Homo-oligomer: A and B are copies of this chain.
Amino acid sequence: MILNVDLASEVPIYQQLRDRIVEAIADGVLTEGSALPATRALAADFGINFHTVNKAYDLLRQQGLIRLNRKTGAVVTPTVADSPFRAQWTARARTLLAEAVAKGLSADEVVTTCRSVLESFAPPQPQDTP
């Protein structure tokens, strides 16, 4: 798993880590049951402090995307989008979509962009294709 984190960015490192892991889950790179690297190992990889990785993992745990175990480490868990999540997600989407529209993009352009991003996710897990 390759997580692209920019240490020079103004976006907090723990947030970038969280975002990249969420994207990896959406991508299907990380599937249910996949183990994430140990906090100390991942921190060493990026040359950052393990507390920073800890914070990213903690956000993911709060969101219900991973489970943390003493020895097992962080494991991706199956999740269901509940009603509060949907409402909060829609509110955030509203802001992002508004930004595109305010900058003059048409609704169709925006939908097309979203669809193409979504298509780049989750390559259907290899099934028997006779």
Contacts and interface: CB of A to CB of B under 8 A. Distances in A.
Secondary structure at the A interface, as helix, strand, loop or mixed, is helix
Given A107-B119, A119-B107, A121-B107, A114 B100 contact: no
* Copies per complex of this chain: 2
A126 B51 CA distance: 55
Contact of A114 (B63, B114, B121, B122): B114
Nearest to A94: B117
Contacts of A95: 19, 22-23
A103 B23 contact: no
Interface of A: 19, 22-23, 25-27, 63-65, 78-81, 85-86, 89-90, 92-105, 107, 110-111, 113-115, 117-119, 121-122
